[in-house]
Amino acid sequence: MTDVLAAFGWIFDPANWVGPSGIPVRLGEHIVYSLLTLLLAAAIALPIGFAIGHSGKFRGLAVGVSGALRALPTLGLLIYLALITTNLTIVPPLIALTILAIPPILAGAYSGLESVDRAPIDAARAIGMTGWQVFAKVELPLALPLVIGGIRSGALQVIATWTVAAILPVGGLGRFLFDGIAVQNYPEMLGGSIIVVALALVSDGLFALVQRLVVPRGVIAGRVRDTSDGGGRSPHAPAPQGATTT
């Protein structure tokens, strides 16, 4: 408990909120790095996932590749990229963490499209919609909650793992951990970890809100009707023929 109090004391110390190594600067760097990583991963994974989910082809390959990418040791990949490129900027961790973020976003994209009920898709094709129109106006709106869920999962991994990337001389909240280790400043280390956890929780909450907002109104209305109907026959409805009543 004393360590936690010391960590919060470090967080709320005004001296740690100023200068190029202050909490606002490190937090801003961490957010920028995480957003850039997510944008790159989404630019790669979403088109591939949508193509797989829409066509139904190469799903097995996508699952295998996603599993292989998940199994990669991120810290090892990060150090390897830094060594072979002799680059100590944000480029090696950006590449490594983009690879880390691709599997959940890819899985969310193709799983979202695969989960869409076939009835509205068949109806859209029956009225003459093209494949692109079916995707843009039917499949994607219905799949968006799961797509956002994949991005949400990737965001949490990226925010947490960018902390480890500070093993290289880059910014971000991980600097508090590695700089604290160097001088055995445990309140700084724990305080930096608490800020990372808080950032992850805020990010998760925002994505959860977005997931709720992107659910199509027609789907929400259908759920409300199903709930109000109770899923069964009204007690005032006539009994089926042949049934006995008391």
pLDDT band at 236 (very low <50, low <70, confident <90, very high): very low
More confident site: 157 or 89: 157
Cβ atoms within 10 A of the Cβ of 206, count? 12
Least confident window among 49-53, 183-187, 229-233, 234-238: 234-238
pLDDT value for 16: 92
What phi and psi, each to the nearest 5 degrees, are found at residue 19?
90, 170
Q: DSSP states of the chain as a string?
A: -HHHHHHHHHHT-GGGGSSTTSHHHHHHHHHHHHHHHHHHHHHHHHHHHHHHHHH--SHHHHHHHHHHHHHS-HHHHHHHHHHHHT--SSHHHHHHHHHHHHHHHHHHHHHHHHTS-HHHHHHHHHTT--HHHHIIIIIHHHHHHHHHHHHHHHHHHHHHHTTGGGGSS--STHHHHHHHHHHT-HHHHHHHHHHHHHHHHHHHHHHHHHHHHTS-HHHHHHHHHHHHHTTS--TTSPPPTT----
- Cα separation, 45 vs 48, in Å, equals 5
For residue 105, what are the CA distances in angstroms to 28, 74, 102? 24, 17, 5
Q: Is the pLDDT score of 152 beyond 90?
A: yes
For residue 128, what are the CA distances in angstroms to 123, 141, 170, 211? 9, 19, 54, 30
pLDDT value for 241: 46
Q: What is the pLDDT of residues 80-139, one digit of tens each?
A: 888 887 777 888 889 999 999 999 999 999 988 888 888 888 888 888 888 788 888 888
pLDDT value for 65: 83
Domain boundaries, the chain: 21-216
**Token representation of residue 191:** 């305080």
Q: Is the pLDDT score of 166 beyond 90?
A: no
Q: Mark residue 117 as left, alpha or beta (left: phi above 0; alpha: psi -120 to 50; beta: remaining).
A: beta
CATH of 21-216, picked from 3.30.70.580, 3.30.465.10, 1.10.3720.10, 3.40.47.10, is 1.10.3720.10
- Cα separation, 109 vs 107, in Å, equals 5
pLDDT band at 242 (very low <50, low <70, confident <90, very high): very low
